[in-house]
Structure 1
Amino acid sequence: MASSSRARSSKQPGPSLIHVPNLFSVVEPGVYRSASPTPAQVPFLASLNLKTIISLTPEFPTKQLLAFTRAAGIDFLHLGTTLWRPLMDWKPIQDEIVKATLELLLDKRVHPLLIIDPLGIHQTGIIVGCLRVLQGWNFASTLVELFDPDLINLPLPDNIPSWFRSLDESDEEDTDYEVEEADPVDKKAQKGAKPGKEKVIEPSNTAEEVVGGRDPGKGERGVG
């Protein structure tokens, strides 16, 4: 009896390993990216408490992923199918998909959110790069050649996540800082000025007068 119980206990499966999707990473709080999850990697998604999954390419998801999203009440937005059209230029992803995805990324009502493509590199990398353009990260002037951030319609301020700050807000803060730095100098200049008196600066000779042989203070020069 003891030997049979030991045999049964030795056959009991241990705790299952957690398989994380390839290239999974946190873009910002509530925003994740990865390659399309395989059936073995789908259970990991339960730990993210996702509201939305966005697929950026036409490839169909696995049955396990679709079953998981239905059971968990997750919105699966297959933009790679609904907005896909044949590529007519050098861009690896259509502007319509980039625009729609960024507008979802900036709406915290659909967070937590996961963006996926088959490899987790190309389309997701472009989306994250365009997001960094909107955030004003370095090399924005290079990335903006790929996508124009002015095309994005931002949600209402109450629906924008706290980690997002547009370039306009950054410019306003920089302007306020410069004005505050300039105020002390202006006050000192005002204290040193004497009211009622202005310093008159005599105009210097113009280039035309000098070249033409005329000096306003000495009259015309004679030609010997």
Structure 2
Amino acid sequence: MNFSFLQTLQLKTVVYLSADEPTQIFSEFLAEQGIELIQITGGEANVYGQRISEQLVLDAFHVMLNPDRYPVIVMCNLGRHRTGTVIACLRRLQLWSLSSIVDEFRRYTGQKQSSLHEQFIELFDVELVELPKDASKLPFKIRSKQITGAHQTQSNTSDQGSKRHINFIFGPRTH
């Protein structure tokens, strides 16, 4: 692991998506840097090629969508399928097209196809994601998504009454 690079990121939080314990040297580095490690296991042992749980994705989003924890990095012990699936589900939340999501997922996992993971990504229910109360603190460009109570609907109108607008496009790309 490139610790000197990680230092340049001035991280506050590491989301570690694995039931496997991080290495001792990595844990020591995080402690020395004052970086909080949040380990999300998904409730079961990690088996290569096994689909990750919906709960793991939701637990990761709970941390990733909390501006108080920024800057944050998401990783797993191999950095491909669990991390890739969580980020792909984030892209779904950001309203990317499925073909763009799958293309990015395949590029980073190094596989031409991963049917089990791609099916999970396609079927992931973004309506289950609890969105932050103050989305203006998120470092995202905005696509308007109107929230009223438990119901979510697409909208291009401005705030009205108790309705609030949140927008998601993570990073500089817009799909």
Specify the TM-score bucket, using the shorter chain as the normaliser. Answer: 0.5 to 0.7
In structure 2, the partner of 1:163 is 140
Contact in 2 for aligned 1:135/1:167 (Cα 8 Å) = no
Contact in 2 for aligned 1:107/1:159 (Cα 8 Å) = no
State the one-letter code of the partner of 1:171: Q
Unaligned ranges ≥5, structure 1: 1-36, 177-224
Cα distance in structure 2, aligned partners of 1:104 and 1:166:
21
Contact in 1 for aligned 2:13/2:37 (Cα 8 Å) = yes
> Per-residue deviation at 1:165?
3.9
In structure 1, the partner of 2:124 is 147
| Bigger CA radius of gyration | 1
Amino-acid identity (%)? 27
* Number of residue-to-residue matches in the alignment: 132
> Per-residue deviation at 1:125?
0.7
In structure 2, the partner of 1:84 is 43
Cα shift readout 1:86-127 (whole Å, capped 9, x = no counterpart): 58xx96111111001112211111111111112211011111
State the one-letter code of the partner of 1:44: F
> Per-residue deviation at 1:145?
3.5
| Partner residue of 2:55 out of 96, 115, 127 | 96
Cα distance in structure 2, aligned partners of 1:126 and 1:67:
27
> Per-residue deviation at 1:58?
1.4
Distance 1:57 1:65, change over 3 A: same
In structure 2, the partner of 1:28 is none
**2:82 pairs with 1:123:** yes
| Partner residue of 2:9 out of 43, 48, 73 | 48
In structure 1, the partner of 2:73 is 114
**2:34 pairs with 1:73:** yes
Query: Taking structure 1 as the reference length, what is the TM-score of the superposition?
Result: 0.51
Cα distance in structure 1, aligned partners of 2:128 and 2:64:
14
| Partner residue of 1:172 out of 155, 171, 174 | 155
Counterpart secondary structure, 1:115: strand
Counterpart secondary structure, 1:49: coil
> Per-residue deviation at 1:43?
3.0
